[in-house]
Structure 1
Amino acid sequence: MSPHASTLTELTAGQRNIIILALALGGFSIGVSEFSSMGLLLEISRGLRITETQVGHLISTYALGVVVGAPVLAFVGARLKRKTLLLALALFYAVANVASALAPGYHTMMAARFLSGLPHGAYFGVAMLVAASISPPGQRGVAVSKVLMGLSVSILVGNPVATWLGQQVSWRVAFAMVGLLSIATVLLIARTLPQDPHEKTVSPLQELVAFNRTQVWLALLIGSIGFAGMFCVFTYLGPIVVKVTRVSEAWMPLIVAAFGIGAVLGNIAGGRLVDRLQFRATGIVLLWSILVLALFPLAATSLWSLLLGVIGLGTMGALAVALQTRLMDVAGDAQTLAAASNHAAFNTANALGPWLGGLAIDAGYGLTSTSQIGMLAALAGLVFWCLAVLLERRKPAMAG
Structure 2
Amino acid sequence: MSDSFHSAPAVGTTALPATVYLIAIGAFALGMASYVTAGLMPMIAGAFSVSLAMAAQLVTAFTLAYGLGSPLAVALLPARAQRSGLLIALGVFVLANGASALASGFSGLLAWRAIAGIGAGVYLALGIAAAACVSAPQQRGKAIGVIMGGMAGGTVLGVPLSLLLAQQLGWTAALWLVTLLGGLALAGLLWQLPALPAAPAISLRRKLALLADGQVLAILLVSLLAAIASLGMYTFIAPLLAWSANGMAMSATPFLWAWGVGGIVGSVLVGPWADKVAAPKLTCIILLLLALALCALPLAAGWSAWLMLAPIALWGAAGWALQVPQNQRLLAVRARQGDGNLAIALNESALYLGSAIGAAMGGLLLLLNWPMWLLAAGAALVATAALLLQWPAARRT
Same fold, TM exceeding 0.5?
A: yes
1:363 aligns with 2:368: yes
Deviation by residue 1:134-190 (Cα, 9 ceiling, x = unmatched): 222222111100111111111221111001011121111111221222222211111
Tell me which amino acid in the other structure corresponds to 2:20: I
For 2:69 and 2:102, the matched residues in 1 are separated by 22
Tell me which amino acid in the other structure corresponds to 2:310: L
Deviation by residue 1:18-69 (Cα, 9 ceiling, x = unmatched): 1111100110011011111122232223223223333333212211111112
Q: Which moved more, 1:217-226 or 1:24-33?
A: 217-226
Q: Equivalent of 1:337, from 338, 342, 348? A: 342
Tell me which amino acid in the other structure corresponds to 1:189: L
For 1:40 and 1:248, the matched residues in 2 are separated by 23
- TM-score calculated relative to the size of structure 2: 0.89
CA contact (8 A) 2:16 2:143 kept: no
For 2:369 and 2:259, the matched residues in 1 are separated by 27
Do the aligned partners of residues 359 and 170 (structure 1) sit closer, same or farther apart at CA in structure 2, a change above 3 Å counting?
same
For 2:80 and 2:219, the matched residues in 1 are separated by 25
1:323 aligns with 2:326: yes
For 2:183 and 2:383, the matched residues in 1 are separated by 37
Please give the secondary structure, in 2, of the residue aligned with 1:50: coil
For 2:222 and 2:17, the matched residues in 1 are separated by 30
CA contact (8 A) 2:244 2:305 kept: no
2:390 paired residue number? 385
For 1:295 and 1:138, the matched residues in 2 are separated by 35
Deviation at 1:7, TM superposition (A): 4.3
For 1:372 and 1:120, the matched residues in 2 are separated by 33
For 1:330 and 1:10, the matched residues in 2 are separated by 22
For 1:103 and 1:252, the matched residues in 2 are separated by 32
Deviation by residue 1:79-101 (Cα, 9 ceiling, x = unmatched): 24321111010001011112222
1:77 paired residue number? 77
For 1:10 and 1:325, the matched residues in 2 are separated by 18
Alignment of 1:147-162 (within 5 A): 147-162=147-162
Tell me which amino acid in the other structure corresponds to 2:158: G
CA contact (8 A) 1:258 1:310 kept: yes
CA contact (8 A) 1:285 1:318 kept: yes
Q: Equivalent of 1:374, from 379, 382, 394? A: 379
For 2:47 and 2:373, the matched residues in 1 are separated by 33
Do the aligned partners of residues 88 and 141 (structure 1) sit closer, same or farther apart at CA in structure 2, a change above 3 Å counting?
same
Structure 2: stretches of 5+ with no match in the other structure: none
Do the aligned partners of residues 321 and 386 (structure 1) sit closer, same or farther apart at CA in structure 2, a change above 3 Å counting?
same
Structure 1: stretches of 5+ with no match in the other structure: none
Deviation by residue 1:324-376 (Cα, 9 ceiling, x = unmatched): 01101112322121122111111111211111111111111133433122112
1:114 paired residue number? 114
Q: Equivalent of 1:305, from 285, 304, 307? A: 307
For 1:9 and 1:312, the matched residues in 2 are separated by 34
CA contact (8 A) 1:81 1:201 kept: no
Deviation at 1:102, TM superposition (A): 2.4
Do the aligned partners of residues 293 and 25 (structure 1) sit closer, same or farther apart at CA in structure 2, a change above 3 Å counting?
same
Tell me which amino acid in the other structure corresponds to 1:216: V
Do the aligned partners of residues 308 and 49 (structure 1) sit closer, same or farther apart at CA in structure 2, a change above 3 Å counting?
farther
1:145 paired residue number? 145
State the identity as a percent.
Answer: 25
Deviation at 1:243, TM superposition (A): 4.5
Alignment coverage as a number of residue pairs: 386
Do the aligned partners of residues 366 and 54 (structure 1) sit closer, same or farther apart at CA in structure 2, a change above 3 Å counting?
farther
Tell me which amino acid in the other structure corresponds to 1:253: T
- TM-score calculated relative to the size of structure 1: 0.89
